[in-house]
Every structure is written in C-alpha cells, then in structure tokens.
Structure 1
Amino acid sequence: MRAEAVFKELVELPKEQRRALLLQRCGDDPELARFVERLLDSDERGLTRFLETPAVARDKFDNAAAEASSHPRRIGRYEIVRKIGEGGMGVVYEARQEHPNRTIALKVIAPGMASRQLLHRFSREAEVLGQLQHPGIAHIYEAGVAEVRTAGGLAYEQPYLAMEFISGKPLGDYCRDRGIDARGRMALVASVCDAVHHAHQKGVIHRDLKPANILVVDEDAGASRPEVPRGDRRAEPSSGARSMFSPPAVPKILDFGVARATDSDVHTVTMRTDVGQLLGTVPYMSPEQVSGDPQQLDVRSDVYSLGVILYEILAGRLPIDVRERSIPEAARMIREDEPSRLSSVSTVFRGDVETIVSRAMEKERERRYQTAADLAADIRRYLNDEPIVARPPSALYQFGKFARRNKALVGGVAATFVALVAGVVGVSVFAVRESRQRVIAERSLRETAEARDAETRQRERAERRFNEVRALANAMIFDVHDGLDKVPGTTEARERLISTAVKYLDSLAAEAGNDVGLLKELCGAYSRLGHILGRSSQMNLGDTKGGLESCTKALELARRVVEILPEEEQALLALARAHEAVGAAQRVLGHTKDANEHMQAHFEIMKRLATAHPENKEYRRTVAIGHANIGRMEWAMGHYDKALEYFALSRQSHEAAIREDAGNVGAKRDLTVVLIRIGEVLKQTGDLKGALAQFEQALVLCEEVMAANPQDPFSREGVAVAHTCVGHALVDLDRADEGITHYMKAKEIRERLHKDDPRDFRTRRNLAVSEFCLGNAYQGMKNYQSALVHFRAYADKSRKVVELDPNYVVARRDLAIALQRVAETLVELGDLDAAAGEMRASTEVYDAVAAKDAQDAIVAMDAAVAHMELGRILLKLSRRPGTSPDSADRLANEARERLERSIARLEELDAAKKLPPKGQERLAEAREALKQVAIGADAAAATLAPSLP
C-alpha cells in the first residue's frame, strides 16, 4: 500500500530530513501526506497502533454541521453523528444504532491499514471480548466490516468496532479537575484492578492499560459501582474496605481492542519492523511486553501497567519517561533502567504507598503481584490502615500502621515502647558508672600490669555497651518519630517520644563529657521537641513557652559544640538552625527584638557557609529563606520598603532554583511564602491589585506543591493560606462574592485537617482565622447578621486557643481582632451598649499584647485603632436620646480619653515613619472624632450658659 510504503521510507530518516521527501512522495495527494504525517507523529510518541485516542466523549468540535462533510454518514447499520476522537491509525465517531436504539462509540481503521491478519484478529477478539460483562469495562458490541463510499464515489471496506459510549473523563484529567486526593486516586485504581482481574479470569489480557483508556463516570451520572467478584475474595480487604473507603466515582476501562486472549496465537507483540506490529503505548508496557516474546506475556504484564498508572496519577509524572525516545531506546530503558522512586517526588509516599507501587512495577514477573486482585487487595489494606503483604511486617512498620488506626492509644504505646528502650539505656548507664567506680577502687589495690590490662578490657566493654545502646535508643526512638511526623493525629504521641528520648539522652550526656556526637544528638532532640511543643508553622501542641525553653537548650548545646569544633561545617549548621528555632519561638511570643537578633545570627552563619560551599544548594536555599525572615522583621517594624527589598532577594533565589529544577517542590513552597509576604505588604500599603496578583501566583504554586504531596498537612494548609490571601484581596477590591468562595475552600481544608488531628494547635488557630475571613466578607457586603455569626465563632475559637496557650501572642491578637469585629458589627445592627462592651474588651487584650512587644508597629497601630473605635461608640452613646446629662458627660469624657490615646500612639508611629497609608486614614478619622467630642462639649456649655448667674 502507498501509505505504508511512504511511512516505512520516512520513519528511518532523521526528523529534520522527512519533510522534503514527504512532499516529493505525496506532492499530488495532500490527503496521503496528512495521513503519513499522522503515522509519523504516532511513531514519535511510541504509539504505532491503530488508534491512540480512546472513545472519550470530548466536545472538541462545537459545530457538528461543519464536520458532516468530513466523515461518512453511515458505516454499516450505524448512523454517524460526529467525530469525537482521532489518532494516527483511525477515528472514533459517536454513532446511533437503530436496533436496539442506542448511542455507541464507533472505532474505524483508516483506509489502507486493514490487512487480512488484522481482520482475522478483530473477528477472533470480538468473540473473546463479548464474554466480558463487568460494570468497570466498556462493553464491546460488535466487530465488523462495512462498505463505505467517499464523497467522490470511491468505495472501500471499512473495519470497525462498535463499543459502549461512555461520557466521562480520562482518569488523570478526572483526578486533577476534581481535586481527588491520593487516597481517592488509589481507591479508583483498586476498582480498575477489579475490572482487569475480571478480564484476566475470562482469559483476556488488555495490553494497553493507561490513564487515557480509563474513563471515570460520576455515580450520579447513572454509573453502577463495580463489585468485587464473588469468586475472588482476594480482591477484598480483610475488614470491610468498601464501606470504609470507597472510590469517589466509577472508572470504566476502554480499548480492549488491542487485547489478546491468554492462549492467542496472534503474535502481535514484536518490536516495530512493519507498520502496526507494536500494539500498546510504550511508557506503560512491561519489560516482557517490549521484549517482543509473546510467550512471556501473561496477566502480570497488565499488573505492571497498573503500577505505572498508579505511580503517574500519584506523582504527576511517569516512573520511566520514554516519551521523547525512539522505540528501541524506550524498550531498553523499560527493560534495564530502574524507575524513579515514588518518594523522590514526595517523602509523603515513603513507606506503604511506595512499596505497593514498586512491587507492581518489578522487572521480574515473579516478584510482582501475581494478579490484579492481589494489587487491589494491598491498596485496600493500605487505605484501611492495615499491614500490607508486599513486605515483611517489622515491629516498627506494624507500629506505624497501628498509629494510623488507633490514634487515641498510640501515645501510650509509643511511650511504652520508648520506656522499654530507655530501660535498657538506664541499665547500660548504670553499668558504665559501676564499671568506672569499680575500676578506680580496684586500681588502688592492684597495680600489676595484668590487672591494669584486665581493667582496661572491662572498661572498654562497658563503654562499648554504652555506645551500642545509645545508638540503639537513638535510632529506634527517632526512626519512630520520623515515621509519625507526617501522620495526622499523632502530635501528642510524637511529643511523648521526643520528651522521653531527651530524658534518657540527658542521662547519657551526663556520662559523656564533651562527646561531640552526643551533644549534637541532644541539640537535634531539643530542637525537635521545641517544634512539636510550639512551632507555629507545623503541627504542634500549643506550648510556645515550653517550645522556646527547648529551643534555647538546643542553642546552648550547639554553642558548646562550636566551642570544641569552631570551624566544622556541621557544627556551624547546627548553631545556625538553633538560632533560627529560637528566633521563631521568640517571634511567636511577641519578643520581636530578641527574635530579630537570632534571625540575624542565623542569616550570617548561613551566608558564611554558602560562601564556603557554593555547590551546596541547601545552603543557598537557606540564605534565601534568611532574606525572607529579615524582610518579615522589617515589615513588623513598619519598614515596608526595606521589607520588599529583602523579599525580592529571596524571590529571585527561589525562582532561580525552580528554573534549575522545575520539579523542585521545596523551592516552590519557599517561593509561595515569599509571594504571600510581598502581597501582604502591598495590600497594607494600598496596592490591592498588585497584592492580588502575588496571592494568585502563590495559589497556583501551592496547588502544584499539594499535587506532589497530597497527604502532607503542611502542603494542604499552604493551599488554604493562599486561598485566604486571595479572598482578602478580592474582598478589599469589593469582590466579596468571589472572596467568599476562596474563604470557604480554605475552611473546608482546615476542617479536614482538624478532624485528622484535633490536638494540632496550628490548625485550631487557622480554623478560627477562616471564621474571621467569612465574617469580614459578609461585613463588606453589609450582611451584618451573617457577619456577626462568623465573628462570634472567630472569637469563641480564638478564646479557646488562648486558653490552651496564654503565651501565644498571635492567638491573643486574634482574640482582640475578633472582639473588635463583633463590636463593629453590633454598631451596624444598632446595639451600641453591647458594642461598647465588646470593644472595651478588645482594647484590653490589645493593650496587653502591645505591652509585651513595643517593637511591633502593626500591633501598636491596631491597638490604637481599637481605642479610636471605642471612642466613637462612646460618643454615639453620649448623644443617644434619653441619656441623662451625667451619663452623657461621663461617656463623652471617656470618648475623649480613648481618642486622645489613639491619636498620640498613631502620631508616634507616624513620626517614626512606621505608619502605613491605611494608618494615616485612621489617624485622620480619630482627629475628626475628637473634634466632634469638642463640638458636643461646646454645645452643652452654650446650653447651660443662660442659667448661670
């Protein structure tokens, strides 16, 4: 055939040489040229098969009438409605069948591609595939050949496949568009495994499984949920998995058109030497499938493809990317190269998920799951927090699984575990002490060389035991902690683990003198404990004061290490990190000056290390973070221009890291923080549109980060923060309806996080903030009743956070803001008496917060504004009809005092150039209100004047 001959000639040429020869060979036939180009394009993508695009109902073509001339009106007994897909070897149409009356998807093979062997294979496969009756498989109705005539009168025989028409989305698109989390994606793949296993039981191997060939249909669209076949209980979890975790919709597998029966004699798996001989999509093929030996192909090849699918929808990329490689090179890579580990994309997948995916993609068939049902069963075990069978259940592994299923008990179990290890440590410490004391006593009695040798050996044995048990305790305790670090609901358990670890490491340190290694371990332990107790940027227990104490101990230990090893890289790094931890803790407690000193010390050490080790990317990243920290300090002190300068330096560094590695999730996360900080400064200085642009860019990046870390609480909270910031800007731009949409998304994320880990202090506070955001939006829309509901919820939640940790300045400021907003809303609703009470309470909280940190210009301004608002309320009350003269005087006098206090503080900030434009506006309002008080006093004096003697 002419098309085949031209394709064979061109495919062997370099890509840049093909165009000229194509025009030479097909110059008189543009249709032939386009067809050969499609074949070449398919070959470039590794798709030398009759059709790449599955039967997906995509609305690619809006004008069906415009298409009518480009496709036949009928093929056999099917009336063509429209084209819905096209690939290198053929087309998919939506078609109508009269008897029975139904819509079907009709695949047709392009003219010139239908060989006698291919037609024979279609006929045989139609019989086999007709046996597949499963809700998760798109039915094949018929395979046949019909005579078709073109508009020019040319007649040709058209092979076709009539299939069930599915209106759904490809698996990958569905998961992205619906924001399905990792557990939901795994549940969908488990359902796909059920359908594949059904086909395998009927003797059919799919051979072309990939996300594009799996459509997902929402249950409310009429899809029936696939059930586990009764004859195969292996596909079920051991304890009711379907009721505990069901997939969010129903996946349906398409394109069994290149499947083969397990006993098929049609050898179509060989590498491409002729057109159409390689069937399947290369990135998803198993090593045995690309090897070309049909005798090696069995159901485990589909298991491998399922593993690749699972990897891709979790990681967002292929485990072995062969899309730009030639077919021979792609085949070699699949046979020989190891896939990228799933945990290289995100450490969230380290453990069970990575183990499941890796086992499904083993190079050796014998090491894979032996059936699709086995893979489905292990996925469901993971979803139910049961031990999977893909690896031996070690004690540490079983403990991690137990922690997920029994969050309430895990703290006690963890502490018991640590106590057991610590008991051994204690015995060893005692043994060291006893040995040393005995050696001293016996040395005074025996001075022979033999005795001294024996004593030395005894001491060495004791010291060796001391170090071995120390290593055991350190490894076991901290391995468990790191395993729980990203598990929601384990905050308290982690605190018990670390505090117990520190207790016994203290005992070891008492015996170790200047043992640098042990001092470093203690430094790391105290730092971890400080973070768990009160680090506001991660899951914590809300003990900010205890967190600062632990971080300070870490800093003292780090200084001791640097005294011993003043130039050692790791010692300096530990010191820098300790300064940063103390600075962060000081900032949370409102000690801005102290926080700044520690942040500056951290920054200077990291600059020194980055200069000495320019090849170290982590050091460069830390310097960039240091710039952002200093920018935040300048912002808090009201130095907005300086803050933006430091933020710009940080941004440039993070953007450079992303250009260097587009998959650098850490750099993306760091950049989102900087973008949000820039946006907050721009918003505070009045550039609302500029702020919105920064926030929207941050939201895009946060969603990318969460896609790579869908189970990571920190990544999920990052998306919530970005939604909140976008909402703030939209509300300030009088687009409150849009802002509320973003606020609700943030609140939903935080409610799930709080449900996962009720003890997490950070999420408690952030959930309170979501209530503030919604109240603020409704207030801007003048929906004061709704605003009051959310502001009161904000106040209640903030009050609980303050009760949990009275030292947490941020939470106390939240409470002050909440009371202030409740008061403002009550004013709008006409309840001035209640408003005055709430605003008075707000000023009391503000004054206490401001007194703790005179350096914080933002808190000082907010406190001054609250006094101004109270003064204005009191002024209104003094003039309310029916108010007695004495009450009016008392209220007016207090109003004057509040306003004068507000003006004095705002003028002080203005003189120090720490008052932003919004503060300037509030200062003008306070001055005007004070004038009104004076006018009222003058009027009252005038009224009394005639009665004076």
Structure 2
Amino acid sequence: MDSSGFRRVREAFEAALALPAEARVDAVRSALRDDPDLAREAERMLAAHATDERFLEPPSAETLVDLAHRHETHVVLQPGAHIGGFELVRPIGAGGMGEVWEARQESPARSVALKALRSGLGTERSRRRFEEESQVLARLSHPGIAKVLASGVLEGPEGGPPRPWFAMELIEGARPLTAFARELPLRRRLLLLREACVAVQHGHLRGVIHRDLKPDNCLVDLEGRVRVIDFGIARATGETDLSLTAGGELLGTLGYMSPEQVLGLSEGIDVRTDVHALGVLLYHLLTGRSPWISDSSSWTALAKEVCERDPEPPSRLVPSLSRELDWVTARAMAKEPDRRYASAQDLADELGRYLDHQPLHAGPPSATYAARKFVRRNRAWVVGGAVAATLLLLGSAGTGWGLYKSVERGRELEARGIELETERASAVAARADAEAARAQAEERLERAEMLNRFLNTMLRGANPLGVTTTTSSESTVGEMLDRAASEVMRAFPGQSVLEADTRLLIGLSYYGQGRYESAQEHIEGARQIFADLLPERAFEWVRASRLLATLRGRRGDHAAAAQDLLELRGLAHGYLDDTYPELAAIDSDLAWALQESGQLTESIPYAQAARDRFVEFGPEFSPMAATAASHLARATRVLGDDEATEAAYRSARELIVGAYGPLSVQAGVAASNLGTFLFGKGRNAEARELFEEAIAILQIELDGDHPTVATLLYNLGGAVYELGELEESERISIACLEMNERLWGPDHSETLDAVASLGLVQIELGQFDEASVNFERAAVGRSAQLGPDHRRTVYARARALEARGLADPGSAAAVDAAVELDELYQHCLEVSGPAASSTQTVAAAGLRLASGTARGNRDLWAERVIE
C-alpha cells in the first residue's frame, strides 16, 4: 500500500468510527468501492478495533526500550569511552533516535553534548536521518541555534551496526522554554518566543524546516537566551528523497504537530508547519497548558483534535489576557497553512507589534481597532483629553448653583467648549493616523505574503546540505541564492519597494558568504529604487548606502569607503533623528574604514560615539556595541595605553561571546582582534593560541574560502614566525597565499601581502631564490597600486635584492644586487630623508647583504642604519 492508499484507508476508517457499529462496514465499503483491496484493509482495521480499542496506539516508551535492549548488538556507551576526540563523561538525556552524553573535547579543551544513534535503531533509514541531522545543523550559524562541532561514525563490533554521532555545544543549565517562563511576566514570555521565532527563521532562510519544535527542543540557557536544538527530523524545503519520510510516516511530537503533519501530507509541509508549532508554544506560554483537551496517550483522539478542533481562546482561560493574543494564536495555529503567518519572522514581527502597541495584522481591519491602538501608544495625551471632556460634562450638568453664578458658568462653558472643539479636532487627527497605520499594515502584509511566495518558490528543490544526488532539481543554498538573484527583478511586477527589500536581503546574503561583487550588484539596485522614494524610504536608502560604502572597503579601497561614509553621515543626519541605530552603525563602519586606511586617531570619536549610542539602545544592540568597542580598542592603541587597550579588547570579546555564543563567527573575530593586539606587543604565544582558536571556530562556521579566515591565517603565520617555528610558518603562509589567490586573484593587495609574508619566511629558511621571486612579485604589484616610492613597495624591492644577492654570494648577481640597493638607498634619501622608514628599510637590507656576502661596504651600511 502506498502513502496515498494508506491515507484513504485511514480517512474511511476514522469516518466510520463516528457511526454506529452496525453501519461501519457498509460505510468503508462505500467510501472505497473503487478499490476492493483498500476496502478489505479498512474492514480488517474495523474488526481489530472491535476487539482492542488501542490497537492503533503507538508502543509505549517502556516497550521501545525493551525492544532496543533485546536487539542490541554493539557495545553500550559508558563514561570514559572515547569517540573521535571526545571522552564521554555522563549521560544527560535521550531523544527519539539518539542518546545524549556530556563529553569532554581534548583539543580545544571544552565540554560538549555528544549524540549517538540509539541502540536498536540501526536501520538504513534511521542512520540516514541521523546523519542528515548533523549535516543540517552544521549549515546553521545563529546564536539561537545550538552549533554542531564535529561528526563521525562509531564502528560497532563485528556484525553490529555502526553508530553515527555528532558533537554540539553543551547548553549549561538548560531548561525547557515553557518551564523557564512559567513565572515570568507576560512581556518577557513573549520576548522569549520572539527569540525562538528568529532562530527558526534563520533555518528557514537556509532551506531547513525543523518539524519538531516543542519545549524540550527550545531551551533557555543560564543567561536567559533561547537555544533551539534537535534537528533530528529537520528536512530541507523541497526535499525529494521520500525514503526519509516514506508512507506518510509521522515525524514529530503529536501535541505540537500541524494538521498536515498528522495527516502525513509530506508535500504540504513547508515553513508554515513550524509556524503552527510556534503557535502551540505561544498558547502554552500564555495559558500554562496545551491547547488540546485530549490525553496525549490517546493517539487517535489527540490527532483528531489537532486536525479538527479549534482551541479555546487563551483569554477565556486567562481573563487578564488581551483578545489580541487570541487573534495571534488563532492565526499561527490555523488548520489551513494559507491562513497562518507566512513565516516565523512574520510571527516574530506580529509579537513585536503587540509589544509596541501597534495594529496587528491578525486584528480586525477596522478604524476603531486602529484608533484604540493609537490611544494605547499615546496614553498620556489621550488620558488628559478624556479627563478634560469628562470635567466639561460634569460642569455643564451643574444647574442648581443660583442665578448669581450664571455669568461665571457661561464663561466656563465657553472655555470648555473651546477645549471640546480642540479635543474633537485631535480625535479626527488620531482617526486619520489610525487609518493610515491600517493601510500601511495591510500594504506590508501584502508585501510579506508576496515575499513568502517568492522565497518558497526559490527554496523548493533546494538541497542545503550540498550533497550530490540524482535529482537534478536539487541545489545547494548558494545555487538557490543565485537562482533567487536571477529571478528577483521580474518576480514583483509593479512592486518596486518589495523588489528593493528583496534585493537588499539577497545582497546581505551574498555579503555574509563573502561574495562581495554579487552583494554590491543587488544592494546598489535596491538603493537606486529607494533613492526614487526619498524621503519616505530614507531609512532603507541610508542603510543600503552604508552597506555599499562598507563593501567598497571590504574589497580593498578603505580610503574611498571612509570618504563615502563621511559624506553619508552628513546626509543621513538630515533624514533620520538620533533614535535610529543606523546612524550609530555609520559611525562604527566609518571608524573601521578610517582605521583600515591608516587614520587611527581620526577614528576614535566615531568609534566612541557608536559604542555609547549602541549601549544606550539596550541589550538588544549589545553585538553592535561590542563591534564598536573593538574598533575603539584598536584605535586607543595609538595612545600608548596598553593596559587600557587590552582591557577594551577583552571587554569587547566578552560582549560578543555573550551576544552570539562562544563558537560563533563573531566570537572568532573577537579572539582574532585580541590576538592581533597581543601579537603586536610581542606576546606571541598568547596570540598564537587566540589565532588558532579563531580559525578552529571559523572553519566550522564558514564554508570554503572566506576573507576572514585568510586574514587569520596571515596573522597566525606571523605569530608562529616570531616564535621561531619557521617550517610551520611557511606551511601556514602558503595556505594563506593560496586562499587569497582564490578569493581575490593574483594582484589584489591582500594577495601581495601574503606573497611578501611568504618571502620573509623563505629568507629565514635560506630559500633565497624563492624569496627573491616572491618579493619581486610583491614589489611589482605594490608599485602598480601604491606607486614606486611607497614604503611598502620599497620594502618589497629591497628584500628582493637582498634575497637575490644572498642566493649566490660569490656571483656577479650578488654584486649587482649590492649596487642596486645602493642606488635605491640614494633615491629614498633624496625623496624621503635619512630617517624615513623606506630609507631605513633599504639600509637594513644592504647591511644584511654585506654581512652575508661581503658584497658592499658593511661599515658604510651600518653607518646608514639609524639606531
């Protein structure tokens, strides 16, 4: 029986159960009269039901454990066992498919959670699903999602099945979301669910649906942050390998399943399935109970309720709740996917509107409702007006004071009448504002739904794991992004704003992948659209302009980026007020660009302003505050206060780890920044440890070649060089050069820096011919970019001549090299003076050449070197 046949049998059987016993057989025969085989299956189910009403119930947990132990064929995991580079410490839990252990990683030393396939579940399908879990998780990088660190397969004894495993972050002191939030204020509960929504949305945008969201998979750590775990049944959107979900197989936890999951409609499962589960979580957070009345042990009754019954509105169970939250839960948990929020982000945004007293998309589209929300947002003004109106009515009713007060009363009424007209005018204005807010909300809802349709179309057929398959319609997330980029300009006819929003999103995705050229194309397209809509879309235009300027810096032109950001800063302050964090972001990026172009002192006020503003905006902006603090720490180094600078770097690192987690990209960059400072102070061993930690993090977080990893390799090579480990430094320098060549091409400034770095190591190793070639390559490239007299060009040229002479001390080439070095010295002396860095670079190279080859006047070169 295939999955469609099974669904028909089940539907006929369940419909028959609602009839009297004597009518059930005729009912299933009638429903399945076109297929006698299916009719006979349904009859057999009715017969079994008549003898044992629980025959369709799943086996109990105890039964499953017993079966697992009965069929156990491999060694039981135990404390002290080693898997990969991990030592098991203690069991901490078990899921539907795996055992979870606390383990200790040997290098780097840290505690992790290690999950191995449960004993007795060694089927091919189970192993494949378990392996997919680790691969899916490895693709996700978000502070709200537990990160996979490593994975592998534990071989069983002869004849026993292998056990796939993976190691992930250990969430210390984790508690299920509903348990943690039980005693919290309503606002805090809703903020926690928003965090969960944003984390789930991260997976959706990368083509992954969770499908088993529940309190045990939405944990809260010791710092009060939500962490989504256990993607054991997560699937790629558009997944075509139905062997993982064959025959309408139910995957998930029934009380949190959507109707399409319960019915086994695999083709109907998309991002809105997770929205339904988030709605159930919201219901539980609001009421303290499940939305379903049926006992969870009664599978058929609970499944019927999930598919057919609308839950009691939360406000009926908790009268203090607003009816608006009834609307939100009803929409999130709608039986039909088309009636739900289009994405987890939409649900998060709706909760944000509720918390900010804005009109809800789920609310009734009436002017009265919008006006009520206006009153809520402007409580002080409206309450004052209401009191004035009430006093006016009370004053008008006083008629027994006597004739001698009539004149005074008339004056009072006249004054109150003026107030009333003022209040009426204000009410009209409030109504107009409310109508405008409603129209804007409807427009945004329409755009969101169009965007969701576009994203679902692009995601359908995506294979986020990048695994080679036989299905030609599957693609990696990168290919999916390219497809979305090619379709975006014709996907939204007549919706230029929506096109611009989507192109900005695509540009940001390319930016995150380090594909800067593609990012620039789409962000530039978005900015042009926003420019035509100024001043209404000033915020979006400013943001796109900032990103373009920063991209210019990321591609190597830091001075131009700084100039662009400085000009944008003046324009942006004309459009936006100080309540916009985007202004602080401009200052932060400007500080970075100035520093990259060598203007460290000039960057200090911008870094300071950005950090202070982000701190004022609150904890939500702590990641941006940490980034600005890093810029400030880098700049304060020019003041010579090493202690304060180190403290600033460490503080920035703590902020970043707190905001993103210890294994995030941002944490890796923070470790690199601190390492760079320590490297500059000669604390090379500490710097090396930080660089290696950063690379270990980022090679997990970032796929393939990435500019940040290339920079880290460059820094690590320098630290190892200073520690005297020349062979290791050469290996790292070669890897750095190769990555930069793949990223930027042979003539980019980053590539030329890597070439010169390799040349330096090769001189120390005595590989003079190779060093000469590399330094000459760097000199030619830098001359073209910076000019022949730039200090970096002169440095590469001098070291190339030095290496050429040292390669063959007794040759004419060594004499020629000494002569050319002398000519280069005289030129630098004339252009820059004797104390200039370029002049001294040549003098030092000449002294080394004379000392190593007896070519040239050693004493003369020594006199030229200024101590």
Normalised by the size of structure 2, how large is the TM-score? 0.51
On the 8 A contact 2:758/2:774 being kept in 1, the answer is: yes
**2:569 aligned with 1:603:** yes
- Asked if the contact 1:826–1:834 (Cα under 8 Å) also holds between the matched residues in 2, the reply is yes
Match of 2:602 among 642, 666, 688: 642
Q: Do residues 348 (structure 1) and 204 (structure 2) align?
A: no
Partner secondary structure for residue 380 of structure 1: coil
Counterpart mapping for 1:515-594 below 5 A:
518-533=495-510, 535=511, 538-540=512-514, 542=515, 544-562=516-534, 566=535, 568=536, 571-592=537-558, 594=560
Query: In the TM superposition, what is the alpha-carbon distance from 1:353 to its structure 2 partner?
Result: 8.1
Change over 3 Å in CA distance of 1:581–1:813 after alignment to 2? same
Q: Does 1:776 align with 2:718?
A: yes
Give the letter aligned to residue 520 of structure 2.
L
Cα distance in 2 for residues equivalent to 1:906 and 1:400: 67
Counterpart position of 2:454 = 477
Identity %: 13
Superposition map of 1:259-278 within 5 A: none
The equivalent position to 1:891 in structure 2, one of 817, 821, 824, is: 817
CA shift for structure 1 position 606: 3.9
Distance 1:332 1:779, change over 3 A: closer
Structure 1 pair 930–561 and aligned structure 2 pair: CA distance change class (3 A): same
Tell me how far 1:934 sits from its aligned partner: 11
| Structure 2 spans left out of the alignment, 5+ residues | 1-61, 70-77, 136-167, 219-227, 246-250, 274-443, 467-475, 861-867
- Which of residues 627, 639, 656 in structure 1 aligns to 2:616? 656
Provide the C-alpha distance between the structure 2 equivalents of 1:940 and 1:594, rounded to a whole number of angstroms. Answer: 44
Q: 2:782 matched to 1:846?
A: yes
Q: 2: CA distance between counterparts of 1:378 and 1:832?
A: 55
Q: Which amino acid aligns with 1:716?
A: S
Q: Deviation string for 1:294-344 (max 9, x for gaps)?
A: xxxxxxxxxxxxxxxx99949967736879xxxxxx67989x996654451
Counterpart check, 1:765 vs 2:707: yes
Matched, 1:869 2:799: yes
* 1:172-218 deviation line (CA, Å, top 9, x unaligned): xxxxxx999xxx99x9876167899xxxxxxxxxxxxxxxxx98466
Determine the structure 2 residue equivalent to 1:797: 739
Deviation of the 1:572 alpha carbon: 0.8
Deviation digits for residues 101-128 of structure 1, max 9, x if unmatched?
Answer: xxxxxxxxxxxxxxxxxxxxxxxxxxxx
* Contact kept? 1:871, 1:899, Cα under 8 Å: no
CA contact (8 A) 1:839 1:866 kept: yes
Could you tell me how far 1:901 is from its partner in structure 2? 6.5
Amino acid at match of 2:810: G
SS in 1 for 2:177: coil
Q: Does 1:722 align with 2:670?
A: yes
* CA distance in 2: counterparts of 1:584 and 1:317, whole angstroms: 40
Find the counterpart in structure 2 of residue 67 from structure 1: none
- 2:232 pairs with 1:380: yes
Amino acid at match of 1:802: W
Q: Cα offset for 1:644?
A: 1.4
1:192 and 1:862 map into 2 onto residues whose CA distance is: 59
Q: Give distance in 2, aligned partners of 1:630 and 1:331.
A: 44
Q: Aligned residue for 2:482?
A: 496
**Secondary structure of 1:381 counterpart:** coil
Name the aligned partner's letter for residue 556 of structure 1. Answer: Q
Give 1:191's aligned amino acid. Answer: A
Structure 1 residues 652, 934: closer, same or farther in 2, change over 3 A?
Answer: same
Count, aligned residues? 536
Aligned to 2:759: 823
CA distance in 1, matches of 2:170, 2:105: 24
Distance 2:129 2:93 in 1: 11
Q: Assess if the C-alpha contact under 8 Å between 1:906 and 1:923 holds in 2.
A: yes
Q: Does 1:700 align with 2:654?
A: yes
Residues 343-369 of structure 1: CA deviation (Å, up to 9, x unaligned): 51672234688763436699xxxxxxx
User: Per the alignment, do residues 818 and 321 of structure 1 end up closer, same or farther by CA in structure 2, a change over 3 Å counting?
Assistant: same
The Cα shift of 1:722 comes to 1.8
Distance 1:238 1:576 in 2: 50
Residue type of the alignment partner of 2:712: S
**Partner residue of 2:770?**
834
**How far is the alpha carbon of 1:777 from its aligned partner?**
1.8
1:754-784 per-position Cα deviation (integer Å, ceiling 9, x unaligned): 5xx44xxxx4333333332332122101121
- For residues 123 and 855 of structure 2, the distance between their equivalents in structure 1, rounded to whole angstroms, comes to 84
Q: Could you say which residue in structure 2 is the equivalent of 1:49?
A: none
Matched residues in 2 for 1:838 and 1:868: separation? 12
Letter in 2 for 1:697: S
Match in the other structure for 1:287 = none
Tell me the amino acid that sits aligned with residue 358 of structure 1.
Answer: K
Q: Counterpart of 1:882 in 2: which secondary structure?
A: coil
Q: Residues 626-683 of structure 1, C-alpha deviation per residue, up to 9 Å, x if partnerless? A: 11122223324433222112111111122233xx43xx2xx22212322332343345
Once the two structures are TM-superposed, the CA of residue 476 in structure 1 deviates from its matched residue by 1.5
CA distance in 2 between counterparts of 1:746 and 1:938 reads 45
Structure 2 equivalent of residue 882 of structure 1: 810
Q: Which residue of 1 aligns with 2:698?
A: 750
CA distance in 1, matches of 2:177, 2:798: 61
Q: Mark the CA change 1:472 to 1:781 in structure 2 (over 3 Å): closer, same or farther.
A: closer
Task: Answer whether contact 1:724 1:743 (CA < 8 A) is retained.
Answer: yes
Q: Is the partner of 2:766 in helix, strand or coil? A: coil
1:319 and 2:177 are equivalent in the alignment: yes
How far, CA to CA, are the matches of 1:939 and 1:694 in structure 2? Answer: 48
CA gap 1:816/1:346 in 2 versus in 1, 3 angstroms: farther
Are the aligned partners of 1:791 and 1:821 in contact in 2 as well (CA < 8 Å)?
yes
Is residue 2:168 matched to residue 1:191? no
Q: 2: distance between equivalents of 1:219 and 1:596?
A: 43
- Please tell me whether the aligned partners of residues 319 and 339 of structure 1 are also in contact (alpha carbons under 8 angstroms): no
Equivalent residue for 2:439?
none
Q: RMSD of the alignment, in Å? A: 5.6
- CA deviation vs aligned residue, 1:668-706 (integer Å, no higher than 9, x gap): 221232233234334577655544333322332232233
Superposition deviation, residue 561 in structure 1:
1.7
Question: Aligned pair 1:624/2:584, yes or no?
Answer: yes
Shift of 1:933: 9.2
Q: Alpha-carbon deviations, 1:705-732, whole Å to 9, x = none?
A: 333xx8xxxx722122122223223333
Residues 816 and 846 in structure 1, CA contact (< 8 A), matched pair in contact too: yes
Q: Deviations over 1:474-496 (max 9, x none)?
A: 43124566999996764523432
CA pair 699-899 structure 1, distance change in 2 beyond 3 A: farther
Q: Which amino acid aligns with 1:539?
A: Q
